[in-house]
Amino acid sequence: MTRGTVHLAVYDTYADWETGHTTAHLTQNGFTVKTVGLTTHPVTTMGGVRIQPDLALTDLDPADSQLLILTGAALWDTGDVLSPFATKARSFLDAGVPVAAICGATAGLAREGLLDDRAHTSAVPFYLAATGYKGSDHYVDTDAVTDGDLITAGPTEPVAFAREVFARLGVYEGEKLDAWYRLFHDSDPAAFEVLNA
């Protein structure tokens, strides 16, 4: 039984290590993960992996998704080529569909004005300040932040990022969510028994 579809944005220089925990455990818990690119032409991740997107961004409708995931990429900071993904994130949030952004994708959301009125985090405050955004008062210096339908995390926190996604989508809750985080973030062997009880 599927719990719905999650869309993972993919683009050249996509930081492929940032969403491995998230997509693997979503898939193991009944979600379908589909990749979305600017087009359906193949892209190459920062790790050199070639990915053929399942659909083009223009064909992505928030009504068909449970979540949009945006990862870091060198391209977020070298021009506007990825700005259509931030615009799509706005349409998701306007429709009440969650968006999860990590690393450089947070700067894309900042440029789009999506962090001006929401609690958020990123790599460091001055990284987002360089975008000229107006949300610095809402910056939280922590691993990952959820504010309603928006999840943000810094580049060194893929496990905390996954935890916030799982909490928002109800994949794991309470003790199991805590145990998942302790197992994958802290290597706590006692958490394995709780997670698999």
Residues with active-site annotation: 103
Side-chain-facing half-sphere of 181: CA atoms under 13 Å? 19
How far apart are the C-alpha atoms of 104 and 152, rounded to whole Å? Answer: 10
Q: How far apart are CA 197 and CA 191, in angstroms?
A: 10
In DSSP terms, 139 is beta-bridged to 120
Residue 152 φ then ψ, to 5°: -135, 155
Under 8 Å between Cβ of 157 and 18: no
